[in-house]
């Protein structure tokens, strides 16, 4: 590779020919950072296959010259839309869209305080650095080997993308970099023709997708046909989708010529005229002038499009649009034969057909085989292709046609509508239109006279899981006694009453005391059916899972008893208190799941006052679990929508003063006391205060750790602040607010950023701790906002890899300074990839004496400095990482069951060292496991915060015990 770097071959002419097939004018184009936030999520170069090459490119997209600004993807002609108005380029440059306040502030700092490397960076542009990275990665034997192994059955698109990137470099005037990348691609042990074909295919795909997108906007069949035929002429070879596109042309020709299919008909069956009219209109579904734009559509489904690359955004939008046919009444799923679904006169034709119930069903069956194309996108957009030698060209073409975005045929649309309402058992695999149509006709003949209740019972008995659920809900919510009787008869006579546990729960929730007789009967049949069955080991199913969650049949039935009044919540609380049983408490938590939090607190207050410390902790845990069901809906310092009634506060306020020490309880049975203790709590009253705060102000949950962070990582400062809040608001006073960076003005934030830029590393911590709480929160936000483009100032950079403290990551972890001393990790120790490697190798060598040991490094308070932590689990089977069970044991088999294994894990990747026959070996790593290489790259970048790093060792004997818990004594 070195020789190739000095005198690379000249691929200029070939790259020009490739560029002419699809690239736009790229003179004066610049290779820049990808737009938007997290590049790990956004850049297309972060695909799984690309990660296998262990590449983290500095650039992400090409910005073309001219206005308005246009960008194209890495190794593609596809355009990229800036997400969130943010284009990540050199700091200080004017942007097309308005950046955030924090980004403005950081860029202002970066422009006034350029990093020392600025002049060096100018001589090493992004494209030069990235072309070298690509060349080096492709020069590794293991990369070529993996690509070659994959080529026969499923060729990777990466080499083709890289070849297009070389063409992009050439078109942008970066000849040396272009030749470097092209030489590396053609040096791979791959079929060169296939690599070129892959590049050509990707250009053709971009053209096809653009033509298809334009068609669904203007619905011009002639224009679309001409564009598709032109693409087949332009790309006569190499286009893997060409066979499928060619299959599309005859249908386009017919639509362009105005050809329409004959009127629908079924032998011996008369179709309703209004149904026939709707079928005809289905060929030309009306466009929806009020359809939301892309961002609004995604937001309505809770999706943030800016988190995804352009290609993924397109697929997501296609999926969202395909869920309906342009009418709000059509969700694309559901048992539309049930219930009322009156269609408005101007509703789309599919909605009107569904509203016709059985008359609509038989009409749909008449055209299930119709291949006439409709201006509605296909739902199969997997873009999956097989390349086995035994596949015929016809099979490959059909697979491409089925999987690409294109207009659907009327028959495809109709088939999907029919499948929604034909009873589908779990093993039912009929999907072709002919079979579906035949089943629909038979279904119509057999059930056209059935009532909706009879159909619902049919779905309960013969439908799949989703149909059973919808049918159960339909019957439960039906106003007629006939529906209720039918539901109860179906469940009690099913032979599998446990399979209906979810539907029964919803049914009893709706009917309450009126369903008491059914509950009593259901209890008997359920106990009989599951007599002697190990509930915990039942096969997964919706019903089974509901029973498993409760812990036993008896406990599941207790939660149902509350719904029908057979047992009151008060009785359930008293029973749980009396037994003190963990499972009983979990059953109580399940029973309270739909009870408003104020009512829960009122219900538990009197028993809590009488409870022993141990039972009190379990009751408080139940309350907190109930609260945390919707904690993400609330913000810090947000006032509760429903404040606690005065009588509830009066009952709880004395409990804040309970002075008994927090009891020692196994965290498996109740985590709440140890959790409260971790935040500085000592008494039962402290635990009460914590539970009241979190139940009344759920948004306080995330604030707990933030408060500890701005106080030097001191978790024991949290509970005193919580008490001060609870004591205030329970007394009717204004509670002190949680620290909030939003309260700090713009100018003050600029002053803090400027101070961070001028202070030496040794003075930063004192400066930070000297700020008021709100400003400390703002400082933490600033430090965590530094990026490679908005680099951290020298003092912060120097500090981020220097150990400034030694303690546990959180109160769930132990910490032992003696272990750190043994490894020479004291304050002032500089974290680096090389030192991490040394630690990994040493842990592997000393595995027998150190099994279960973990060394960890993480960012210091407010992101300043690094903290070191060490622990050794007394029982290596209980080793954890950040308080969670270690994943290390499961990797032993993957690496040949070595004598010992060491794992480095971080947000930047993974690395493994093994001990085999007394020899330490660093295992081969690639992609998202290339921990050391990615650490080196990460440490070289100028962001301000050290990611969490954990290095852990385990012997095979200890791993075996963990993997086989039944051997535990």
DSSP string across 873-935: -SSGGG-EETTEEPSGGGGTGGGT--SEEEEEEETTEEEEEEEETTEEEEPP--GGG-HHHHH
Instruction: Say what the pLDDT of residue 883 is.
Output: 66
Instruction: Say what the pLDDT of residue 41 is.
Output: 36
Are the beta carbons of 113 and 757 closer than 8 angstroms? Answer: yes
Instruction: Kindly tell me if the per-residue pLDDT of 2 is higher than 80.
Output: no
Instruction: Say what the pLDDT of residue 668 is.
Output: 67
pLDDT tens for each residue of 904-940:
988 777 889 999 999 999 887 654 445 787 777 777 7
What is the average pLDDT across 543-562?
A: 80
Instruction: Say what the pLDDT of residue 675 is.
Output: 87
Per cent of the chain over pLDDT 70 is 80
Instruction: Say what the pLDDT of residue 727 is.
Output: 96
Cα distances from 702 to residues 79, 355, 628, 698, 738, in angstroms, run 39, 48, 11, 9, 11
Instruction: Kindly tell me if the per-residue pLDDT of 42 is higher than 60.
Output: no
| Range picked from 37-46, 55-64, 316-325 for highest mean pLDDT | 55-64
pLDDT tens for each residue of 646-674:
999 999 999 999 999 999 887 666 778 88
Instruction: Kindly tell me if the per-residue pLDDT of 108 is higher than 90.
Output: no
What is the average pLDDT across 209-237?
A: 94
Instruction: Provide the token pair at 24.
Output: 């736009």
Instruction: Kindly tell me if the per-residue pLDDT of 122 is higher than 60.
Output: no
Instruction: Kindly tell me if the per-residue pLDDT of 384 is higher than 50.
Output: no
Are the beta carbons of 876 and 852 closer than 8 angstroms? Answer: yes
123 vs 476: which has the higher pLDDT: 476
**Which of 313-327, 405-419, 431-445 has the least mean pLDDT?**
313-327
Instruction: Say what the pLDDT of residue 310 is.
Output: 45
Are the beta carbons of 789 and 89 closer than 8 angstroms? Answer: yes
Instruction: Kindly tell me if the per-residue pLDDT of 147 is higher than 70.
Output: yes
pLDDT tens for each residue of 174-191:
999 999 999 999 999 998
Are the beta carbons of 336 and 459 closer than 8 angstroms? Answer: no
Instruction: Kindly tell me if the per-residue pLDDT of 571 is higher than 80.
Output: no
What is the average pLDDT across 703-727?
A: 94
What is the average pLDDT across 343-352?
A: 81
335 vs 296: which has the higher pLDDT: 335
Cα distances from 701 to residues 416, 730, 741, 797, 859, in angstroms, run 45, 19, 17, 31, 21
Instruction: Kindly tell me if the per-residue pLDDT of 873 is higher than 50.
Output: yes
Instruction: Say what the pLDDT of residue 669 is.
Output: 67
DSSP states along 811-837: TTS---HHHHHHTT--TTPBP-HHHHH
The answer to whether the Cα torsion of 265, 269, 273, 278 is positive or negative is negative
What is the average pLDDT across 369-395?
A: 72
Instruction: Say what the pLDDT of residue 771 is.
Output: 96
**Which of 499-503, 743-747, 788-792 has the least mean pLDDT?**
788-792
60 vs 926: which has the higher pLDDT: 60
**Which of 547-551, 741-745, 928-932 has the least mean pLDDT?**
928-932
Instruction: Say what the pLDDT of residue 838 is.
Output: 95
Average pLDDT in the chain = 82
Instruction: Provide the token pair at 839.
Output: 């630690």
Are the beta carbons of 169 and 127 closer than 8 angstroms? Answer: yes
- What are the contacts of 743-749 at 24+ separation with CB within 8 A? 743/774, 744/774, 744/775, 744/777, 744/778, 746/101, 746/105, 748/775, 748/778, 749/101, 749/102, 749/105, 749/778, 749/782
> Any idea how long the chain is?
969
Instruction: Say what the pLDDT of residue 806 is.
Output: 95
DSSP states along 935-960: HHHHHHS--S-PPPEEEEEEEHHHHH
**Which of 315-319, 889-893, 952-956 has the least mean pLDDT?**
315-319
Instruction: Kindly tell me if the per-residue pLDDT of 602 is higher than 80.
Output: yes
Instruction: Say what the pLDDT of residue 615 is.
Output: 85
What is the average pLDDT across 21-26?
A: 92
**Which of 433-437, 473-477, 644-648, 731-735 has the least mean pLDDT?**
473-477
Instruction: Kindly tell me if the per-residue pLDDT of 349 is higher than 50.
Output: yes
Residue 474: count other Cβ atoms within 10 Å of its Cβ.
20
Q: Can you state the angle between helices 501-511 and 553-564, rounded to 10 degrees?
A: 20
Question: Strand 909-916 and strand 919-922: pairing?
Answer: antiparallel
What is the average pLDDT across 126-131?
A: 87
């Amino acid at each position: 590779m070195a020789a190739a770097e000095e005198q690379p071959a000249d691929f200029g002419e070939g790259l020009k020919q490739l560029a002419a097939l699809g690239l736009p004018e790229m003179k004066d184009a610049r290779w820049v950072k990808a737009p938007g936030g997290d590049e790990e999520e956004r850049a297309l170069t972060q695909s799984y296959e690309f990660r296998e090459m262990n590449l983290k490119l500095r650039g992400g997209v090409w910005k073309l010259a001219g206005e308005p600004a246009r960008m194209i993807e890495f190794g593609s002609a596809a355009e990229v839309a800036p997400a969130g108005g943010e284009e990540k380029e050199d700091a200080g440059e004017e942007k097309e869209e308005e950046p955030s306040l924090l980004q403005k502030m950081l860029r202002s700092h970066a422009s006034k305080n350029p990093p020392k490397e600025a002049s060096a960076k100018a001589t090493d542009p992004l494209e030069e650095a990235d072309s070298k990275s690509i060349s080096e990665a492709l020069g590794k034997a293991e990369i070529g080997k993996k690509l070659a192994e994959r080529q026969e059955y499923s060729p990777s698109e990466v080499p083709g993308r890289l070849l297009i990137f070389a063409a992009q470099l050439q078109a942008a005037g970066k000849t040396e970099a272009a030749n470097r990348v092209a030489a590396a691609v053609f040096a791979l042990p791959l079929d060169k023709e296939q690599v070129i074909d892959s590049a050509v295919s990707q250009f053709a795909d971009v053209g096809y997708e653009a033509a298809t997108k334009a068609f669904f906007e203007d619905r011009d069949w002639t224009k679309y046909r001409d564009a598709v035929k032109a693409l087949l002429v332009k790309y006569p070879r190499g286009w893997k989708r060409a066979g499928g596109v060619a299959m599309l042309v005859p249908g386009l020709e017919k639509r362009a010529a105005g050809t329409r299919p004959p009127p629908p008909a079924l032998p011996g069956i008369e179709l309703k005229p209004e149904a026939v009219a709707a079928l005809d209109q289905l060929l030309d579904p009306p466009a929806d002038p009020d359809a939301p734009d892309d961002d609004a559509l995604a937001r309505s489904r809770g999706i943030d499009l800016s988190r995804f690359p352009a290609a993924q955004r397109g697929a997501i939008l296609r999926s969202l649009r395909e869920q309906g046919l342009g009418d709000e009444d059509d969700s694309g799923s559901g048992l539309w034969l049930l219930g009322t679904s009156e269609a408005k006169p101007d509703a789309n034709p599919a909605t009107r057909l569904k509203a016709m119930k059985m008359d609509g069903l038989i009409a749909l069956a008449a055209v299930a085989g119709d291949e006439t194309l409709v201006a509605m996108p296909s739902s199969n957009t997997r873009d999956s292709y097989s390349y086995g030698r035994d596949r015929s060209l016809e099979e490959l073409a059909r697979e491409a046609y089925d999987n690409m975005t294109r207009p659907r045929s009327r028959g495809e649309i109709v088939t999907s509508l029919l499948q929604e309402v034909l009873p589908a058992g779990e093993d039912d695999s009929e999907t072709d239109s002919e079979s579906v149509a035949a089943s629909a006709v038979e279904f119509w003949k057999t059930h056209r006279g059935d009532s909706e209740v009879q159909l619902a019972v049919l779905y309960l008995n013969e439908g799949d899981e989703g149909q059973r659920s919808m049918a159960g809900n339909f019957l439960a919510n039906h106003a007629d006694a006939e529906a209720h009787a039918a539901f109860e008869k179906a469940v009690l006579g099913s032979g599998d009453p446990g399979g209906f546990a979810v539907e029964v729960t919803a049914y009893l929730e709706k009917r309450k005391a009126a369903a008491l007789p059914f509950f009593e009967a259901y209890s008997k049949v359920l106990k009989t059916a599951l007599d002697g069955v190990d509930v915990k080991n039942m096969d997964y199913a919706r019903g089974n899972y509901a029973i498993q969650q409760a812990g036993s049949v008896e406990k599941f039935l207790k939660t149902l008893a509350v719904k029908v009044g057979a047992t009151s919540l008060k009785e359930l609380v008293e029973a749980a208190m009396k037994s003190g049983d963990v499972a009983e408490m979990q059953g109580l938590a399940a029973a309270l799941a739909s009870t408003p939090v104020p009512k829960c607190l009122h219900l538990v207050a009197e028993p809590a006052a009488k409870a022993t410390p141990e039972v009190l902790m379990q009751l408080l845990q139940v309350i907190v679990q109930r609260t945390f069901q919707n904690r993400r809906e609330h913000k810090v310092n947000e006032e509760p929508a429903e404040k606690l009634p005065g009588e509830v506060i009066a009952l709880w306020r004395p409990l804040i003063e309970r002075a008994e020490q927090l009891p020692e309880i196994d965290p498996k049975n109740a985590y709440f006391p140890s959790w409260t203790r971790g935040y500085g709590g000592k008494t039962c009253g402290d635990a009460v205060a914590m539970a009241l705060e979190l139940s009344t102000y759920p948004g306080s949950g995330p604030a707990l750790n933030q408060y500890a962070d701005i106080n030097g990582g001191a978790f024991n400062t949290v509970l005193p602040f919580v008490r001060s809040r609870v004591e205030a608001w329970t007394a009717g006073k204004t509670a002190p607010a949680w620290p909030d960076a939003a309260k700090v003005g713009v100018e003050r934030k600029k002053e803090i950023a400027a101070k961070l830029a001028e202070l030496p590393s040794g003075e930063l911590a004192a400066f930070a701790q000297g700020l008021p709480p709100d400003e400390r929160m703002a400082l933490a936000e600033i430090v965590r906002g530094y990026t490679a483009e908005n680099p951290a100032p020298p003092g912060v950079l120097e500090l981020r890899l220097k150990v400034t403290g030694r303690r546990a990551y959180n109160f769930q972890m132990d910490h032992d300074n003696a272990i750190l001393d043994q490894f020479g990790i004291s304050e002032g120790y500089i974290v680096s990839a090389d030192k991490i490697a040394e630690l990994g190798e040493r842990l592997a060598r000393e595995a027998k004496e150190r099994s279960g040991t973990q060394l960890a490094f993480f960012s210091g308070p407010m992101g300043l400095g690094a903290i070191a932590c060490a622990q050794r689990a007394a029982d290596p089977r209980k080793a954890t990482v950040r308080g969670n069970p270690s994943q290390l044991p499961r990797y032993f088999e993957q690496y040949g069951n070595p004598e010992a294994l060491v794992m480095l894990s971080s947000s930047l990747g993974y690395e493994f060292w093994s001990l085999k026959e007394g020899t330490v070996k660093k295992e081969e790593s690639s992609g998202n496991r290339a921990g050391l290489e990615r650490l080196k790259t990460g440490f070289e970048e100028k962001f301000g915060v050290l990611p969490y790093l954990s290095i852990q060792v385990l012997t095979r004997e200890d791993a075996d015990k963990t993997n086989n818990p039944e051997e535990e004594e």
